[in-house]
Chain A
Amino acid sequence: GDSVTQMEGPVTLSEEAFLTINCTYTATGYPSLFWYVQYPGEGLQLLLKATKADDKGSNKGFEATYRKETTSFHLEKGSVQVSDSAVYFCALSVDSNYQLIWGAGTKLIIKP
């Protein structure tokens, strides 16, 4: 079945470090891919998305490229800030399924 695998957390980085959170997927058909973020005490919000192969989603300095050949959608940011501390979820949806399939989430801790 369809699934998403994310790197285990927590990931602890110093401010201004480079961030990569790995996400790979298994899906039938042509999925759309999403990164959602959950800040402490807040709800889930979309960070970025890509709906077809080679698309790059970007927002707030974060980027992810939909790689069909490696079935990946890794999240990157060049210089993280303390305010980026949150839990990041990779997810996919496929047509005719009408649901988001989630990775386990990666907790990111940024130290000043």
Chain B
Amino acid sequence: QQQVKQSPQSLIVQKGGISIINCAYENTAFDYFPWYQQFPGKGPALLIAIRPDVSEKKEGRFTISFNKSAKQFSLHIMDSQPGDSATYFCAASPSGTYKYIFGTGTRLKVLA
């Protein structure tokens, strides 16, 4: 119940295309859903995050779609660029804890 399932494991997209990464969870106590971007040799950096009271959040080319009833959330990267090539982790955190449950990661490669 504490798991966050992430798919796909890897993704190859042409420059200018849309990259979509999906995550699903079971624990209804989760109330914070961030996405992290990690480049090789670097620490993860917060990309965008959402709370369950909204269904969508957009920041530049990055959008989170959140479906509370289906317990799913996804990251959409519009106009994908080679510089977006990185590993993306979704995560979920229950209210009042220090726990951040990470998905297994998606390695994105954007072809020039």
- Whether A associates with B in a native complex is no
A interface list, Cβ under 8 A from B: none
